[in-house]
Amino acid sequence: MHLVAALLRLNAPWVPSEPDRLDDLAISRGRDDVLTYDDGISLSVEVLNPVRYETVEDLVFSARDAAAPGRLVLVAGAVPVEWRAALRQAELSFIDLDGVVEIVWPRLRVSASRFGKEIVRHRRAVPLQKSHALVAEELLIGSVDGTTLTITELARSAGVDKSIASRAVAQLAEQGLVTREQSRRRAPIFVSDPDSLAELLAKRTAWPGHEVVGGYVWGRNIWDTAASISRNAADAGIELAITGRTGAAFLGVLGTSSPLEVRCWATLTGRSLEEVAVALGLAPAPRESMNVRVSADPWRIGVHRRATAQFDEWTATVAHPFRLWCDVHAEERGREFASQLWGKASHAW
C-alpha cells in the first residue's frame, strides 16, 4: 500500500507552530482541524479530548459515533497510558501531550514517541511590560471574536492611552505577530499569529506578579472559598479575579482532584497588598495551611474583562478565559488544563 505525505493541522496550543514531520505525516498548529494529503485531498478532523470521558469505552463509543464520510476522528490531549491499548485495538488514532503519536488513517500509518520535542523557536524577546500586555490581550480577544480594531478602538477597549497602544502594536508588528492594513477610513489591526502571541502573553504575564500575599479563608470547599473571596472583594470595592485551576473549574474545566488553593488577581487602588488581604478576609496562616493567594495587579492585566461565573451552587468573579489559559500552565497538569481552556478562550464572555 502506497503511503502519501500529508499535513495535519490542529487548533491546540500545545501543538508546535512549525511543522514537525513524523514519517509521512507533518503536524503543525492551525486555525482548523484538518488533514491535507499531498495530492490535494483534505479531510476534516473531529478532535476528542480524553479528559472529557470517564472510561475508554465511553471514548471509543463517542469516536465511532463521530465518524462520518469525509471526516476523521482523532483523540488528542492527555491520553492515559492504560487506555492506549484499547485505542489501538479499536484502531483509533491518538496524539498524547507527551509526544506519543499513533495514526491509523486511510493511506497513512504513523507511530512515534517524539512529537513536538525538538521544536526550538528563535524570536527576539518582546517584553510586553505593563499596559502593553493589556493591548496584546485585547488583540487576542478581538482575533477570535472576528473583530478588527484600529489603534483608537484598541486603546479604548484596553483602557490605555493611544500612544501606548500604538507602541505595543509596533513592537508586535516587528515580530510578525500583527499587521496593520491601511485604508482610507481606518487602519485595522490583524493578529497574524494568534498562537504565538498567546504563548508570549502567557510567558510574560502569567500569575503571580511581583507582589503576592497568602492566607486562609474558611469555606466548605475550595469553590465556597472562591465565592466568599469574590463577595468580600465586591463589598470592599476591590477589583478581583479568580484565576488558575480554581477559576477554570467555574468555566467547566475540571480535574480528577480539586485545586488546593484559590489564586487571585487584585487591584490595589491606593491600598497596600496587606490591606487588600485584610479586606478580603484572609487570616494569617503558615504556608502549608494557606488556601488563598492574592497577587497585586497594578496594570489590570488579570482583572481585565473578568466576569461572574457559577459552578454548582457557588458564584465567583473569574478572570477572562484567555487570562486563565495564561495562568494555569504553572499548576500541576497545567498543560492538560490549558488544552481544555483553549477552546473556551476562543469565545469571549
d(CA 246, CA 249): 5
Residues of the chain with CATH 1.10.10.10: 131-205
Assigned fold of 131-205: Arc Repressor Mutant, subunit A (1.10.10)
Residue with cell 510567558: 203
Residue 183 is predicted with a pLDDT of: 56
Torsions phi, psi for 107 (to 5 deg): 65, 15
Task: Name, in order, each residue with C-beta under 8 angstroms of 214's C-beta and a sequence gap of 6 or more.
Answer: 261, 282, 285, 287, 290, 292, 293, 294
Cell of 119: 521544536
**For residue 201, which of 343, 332, 327, 12 has the smallest C-alpha distance?**
327
Whether residue 299 contacts residue 134, with contact meaning beta carbons closer than 8 Å, is answered with yes
Residue 280: how many CB atoms within 10 A of its CB?
24
Residues in the chain with pLDDT values less than 50: 1-4, 117-124, 348
Provide the whole-model pTM. 0.63
What is the CATH number that goes with domain 212-337? 3.30.460
| Closest to 296 (Cα-Cα) out of 323, 267, 261 | 267
The ranges of the chain annotated as CATH 3.30.460 are 212-337
In contact, 333 and 77? CB cutoff 8 Å: no
Q: Tell me what pLDDT residue 2 has.
A: 42
H or E element that contains 84: helix 84-89
